[in-house]
Structure 1
Amino acid sequence: MKYLIAIIGLLVVLALAWVASKDRKRIKYKPIILMIGIQLVLSYVLLNTRFGLVIIKAIAAVFDKLLAYAGSGVDFVFGGIANKGQAPFFLSVLLPIVFISVLIGIFQYFKILPLFMRGIGLLLSKVNGMGKLESYNAVASAMVGQSEVFITVKKQLDKLPEHRLYTLCASAMSTVSMSIVGAYMTMIEPKYVVTAIVINLFGGFIISSIINPYEVDEKEDILEIQDEHKQSFFEMLGEYILDGFKVAIIVGAMLIGFVALIAAINNVFDLVFGISFQEILGYIFAPFAFLMGIPGSEIVKAGGIMATKLVTNEFVAMMSLTDIANGLSSRTVGIISIFLVSFANFSSIGIIAGAVKGLSEKQGNTVARFGLKLLYGATLVSFLSAVIVSFIL
């Protein structure tokens, strides 16, 4: 039965993308089928095999170590604030972003990260039927973040037609930044974080290939990656430390605002209608949760978390999942965890449009115009990843 629901869910996701397609005659189905197959294989390997378990444990161990190193710095500065035995969210989850940001800066400075991103991007372009720039951008988005990635391709931004710009932005919204992966791993199981990052990479190409199909002229597909202005090593360290701290502060501020707002709205709805706002959203998203393979008794709760992610952000939704995880089946927790690992929410439209506008006024306005279509596609990527995993769990 679960396979039948998963197949129906997969067909629904593809149909929803097909309905929004701007040129259905140009959709290339062979790369799409190939990438869906790759998603299924990778999900099975990462979640259901000993080899996958070893990989996940190794990655989780690396991030555990990084978080421990980050904790040394946090304890030195803020150690007296927390009560013994307690770990405030800002100190234990958000501030370690600063240290991971520094590591990304070091790998960037020594050209290790750009080399890796180019190599993986080139391999991906052979599979997805898209251009080298699109493939590089998808990998780079997962490494350096949805706003920072556009700096690396700023030489080409003004030259890009709208259809290629859409694919670049869709990749940025469908992935997550490596700097906050450690934060996610403190809230949901590392195996789901790693699996979601890997299959979202292909999911972004699948949905974009349907919604936004096009051919790339090889003469136009020149990958020019912008090197940052030459800095000394310690200048770079200072910049990435401050960037990491800004991210932590921004995420913290957004959490304060969104969590407080959701609490207020829930209370108002409860007083007026006798049901919380999240429960109403849960009923709206329940059919999608069912198609993702979640048991009928849990679809309303799961739908509420899915909706919370869309209207707020993934951190708020992960906190909601953590609060009710004990009352859900392990299958439901796994599927919802996969759905949550992306930047597909309303605030990301502003973040991406702002990042592009800072580099190109004209292209920033273009991104703002297709912002809702961008969010629609990125949400379908999350939906697709959850359906793929429902075959495996």
Structure 2
Amino acid sequence: MGILMGIVGILFTMFLAWIASSNKKLSFKKWKNILILLALQLFFAFLFLNTTWGQTFIGWLAEAFNHLLGFAAEGGQFVFGDLMSLSTESGAAGEQVLYNSEDGLAFNVFFFNVLIPIIFISAIIGILSYTRVLPLIIKGIGILMTRITGMPYIESYNGAASMFLGQSEVFISLKNVLPKMTTQRMYTLAAQAMSSISLSIVGAFFTMLEPQFVIIAIVLNFLGIYIIVHIINPYEEEINDTGVEISTNPEKGKSFFQVLGDYIIDGGKVVLVVAAMLIGFIALIGLLNQLFLLIPGSSLTFQDILGYIFMPIAFLIGIPWDEAQTAGSLMATKLITNEFVAIGEFMTIADDLSRKTQAMVSVFLISFANFGSIGIIAGSVKGLHGESGDKVARFGLKLVYGASLVSLLTATIVGFFF
């Protein structure tokens, strides 16, 4: 039954992409690339979920991030002193009381254990960028993906860069080529950015979700976006990117400490933005829930209603019917707010869900696919090239739609193995 619903989920997701496609007559070559990418998604999901080697690799990676988070805690301890100690003593389960604390401990745990490490991870990324290690990795993956996806090098490079840099920073390396991008190609670049997460916040996700699901989501989203854009945004013309300049060394001309300082400051900005978004969105959801409860005879909250709207979608991708409303509510919460708000809600109820639903919801929540990201991406691109930013703003809703389908596809693939 699980495999059957998995197949239904894949076909359903592809159908949703096809009905919004700019060209519904896909070539044989496109379908060939799609099947190869699907096979790779299934392979990596099986590798990380069902093999000793995959589990060992994820365990090693999680341990490495735990060490990095420990170093981040030392920096936080110096600045915040006893407040940092209080959050550390609460233990790994402290985040579970994010909305139930009576003494402020929950805020300490989330802020110090989840947000503060972003600053340190950003510093590590700055070092890797300055030493050219990270640009070399991104370029290598981009070259490989041109052969697998059948897409031009810029799109292949951007997919790899988005997986590491996130939805704002990734366009800096493409600032010289943005004026040459058609609307269709800009859609692909923006969808890749929205379907990814930034390496700087991976450590934060590791503290809230199981590391294996974070790693699986990153890999499957990276492959899945090519599948969705092949269907929703196909372009057949031969594109020659030879000689097009991509800035793979944006730190050129800066000293080591200039780069390090810039990345640390950028990490601090991310922390403030995430904290502000959480405060605003959680407060608004609380207000809406209360307003819906004021309706005479109503016992449904705003999130309950969202859950019922998304319930059929959750069921069709393989989530059990008796948990589909809860999963649908979490999916909708992520779409209209952001991934951190939805994960916070998920953490409070995860233990009440089946293992399959936990896995599928976890990977669905790992991306930037939400309405707020439209403004972030359009603004980032517009700051580099005004006309390209306007293009992104015009297809904003379709952008969220496509990126959300990537998350649906990732969740469906993971459901095969539970």
Whether the TM-score (by the shorter chain) exceeds 0.5 is: yes
Q: Say whether residues 1:247 and 2:249 are aligned partners.
A: no
> What pairs up with 1:349-388 in 2 under 5 angstroms?
349-388=374-413
Q: Say whether residues 1:110 and 2:135 are aligned partners.
A: no
* In structure 2, C-alpha distance between the alignment counterparts of 1:297 and 1:261, rounded to whole Å: 28
Shift of 1:81: 2.7
Q: Secondary structure at the match of 1:155?
A: coil
Contact 1:131 1:216 in 2 (8 A): no
* In structure 2, C-alpha distance between the alignment counterparts of 1:231 and 1:300, rounded to whole Å: 52
| 1:222–1:346 Cα change, 3 Å | farther
Range that drifts further, 71-80 or 248-257: 71-80
Residue 6 (structure 2) aligns with: 6
* In structure 2, C-alpha distance between the alignment counterparts of 1:224 and 1:247, rounded to whole Å: 29
Residue 37 (structure 1) aligns with: 39
> What pairs up with 1:213-252 in 2 under 5 angstroms?
213-215=234-236, 217-226=238-247, 227-228=249-250, 229-252=252-275
Residue 177 (structure 2) aligns with: 156
Residue 99 (structure 1) aligns with: 120
Q: Say whether residues 1:16 and 2:16 are aligned partners.
A: yes
Q: Say whether residues 1:195 and 2:190 are aligned partners.
A: no
Residue 158 (structure 2) aligns with: 137
Range that drifts further, 143-152 or 218-227: 218-227
Task: Choose which of 271, 290, 297 in structure 1 pairs with 2:294.
Answer: 271
* In structure 2, C-alpha distance between the alignment counterparts of 1:12 and 1:309, rounded to whole Å: 20
Percentage of identical aligned residues: 51
Listed one character per residue, the Cα deviations across residues 108-165 of structure 1 (whole Å, up to 9, x for unaligned) are 1011111110001111110111011101101101111111000001000011111111
Task: Choose which of 352, 368, 381 in structure 2 pairs with 1:327.
Answer: 352
| Residue identity in the other structure for 1:246 | K
Contact 1:137 1:168 in 2 (8 A): yes
Shift of 1:4: 1.2
* In structure 1, C-alpha distance between the alignment counterparts of 2:169 and 2:183, rounded to whole Å: 20
Contact 1:291 1:387 in 2 (8 A): no
* In structure 2, C-alpha distance between the alignment counterparts of 1:292 and 1:95, rounded to whole Å: 35
Listed one character per residue, the Cα deviations across residues 295-325 of structure 1 (whole Å, up to 9, x for unaligned) are 1111111110000000000000101110001
Q: Say whether residues 1:61 and 2:63 are aligned partners.
A: yes
Contact 1:292 1:383 in 2 (8 A): yes
| 1:222–1:300 Cα change, 3 Å | farther
Q: Say whether residues 1:123 and 2:125 are aligned partners.
A: no
Contact 1:132 1:222 in 2 (8 A): no
Listed one character per residue, the Cα deviations across residues 2-31 of structure 1 (whole Å, up to 9, x for unaligned) are 111111111110011111111122441000
- How many corresponding residue pairs? 393
Residue 372 (structure 2) aligns with: 347
Shift of 1:358: 0.3
TM-score by length of 1: 0.98
Contact 2:364 2:408 in 1 (8 A): yes
Contact 1:314 1:342 in 2 (8 A): yes
Please tell me the root mean square deviation across aligned C-alpha atoms, in Å.
Answer: 1.2
Q: Secondary structure at the match of 1:72?
A: helix
Contact 1:195 1:338 in 2 (8 A): yes
Shift of 1:221: 5.0
* In structure 2, C-alpha distance between the alignment counterparts of 1:78 and 1:12, rounded to whole Å: 50
Task: Choose which of 340, 343, 357 in structure 2 pairs with 1:318.
Answer: 343
* In structure 1, C-alpha distance between the alignment counterparts of 2:243 and 2:10, rounded to whole Å: 34
Q: Say whether residues 1:289 and 2:291 are aligned partners.
A: no
Shift of 1:32: 0.2
| Residue identity in the other structure for 1:238 | G
* In structure 2, C-alpha distance between the alignment counterparts of 1:219 and 1:379, rounded to whole Å: 30
| Residue identity in the other structure for 2:269 | K
Residue 284 (structure 2) aligns with: 261
* In structure 1, C-alpha distance between the alignment counterparts of 2:69 and 2:320, rounded to whole Å: 35
Q: Secondary structure at the match of 1:186?
A: helix
Contact 2:338 2:370 in 1 (8 A): yes
Q: Secondary structure at the match of 1:392?
A: coil
Q: Secondary structure at the match of 2:180?
A: coil
Contact 2:154 2:241 in 1 (8 A): no
* In structure 2, C-alpha distance between the alignment counterparts of 1:102 and 1:40, rounded to whole Å: 34
Shift of 1:216: 5.2
Range that drifts further, 154-163 or 17-26: 17-26
Shift of 1:392: 1.3
* In structure 1, C-alpha distance between the alignment counterparts of 2:84 and 2:199, rounded to whole Å: 27
* In structure 2, C-alpha distance between the alignment counterparts of 1:39 and 1:155, rounded to whole Å: 32
| Residue identity in the other structure for 1:233 | F
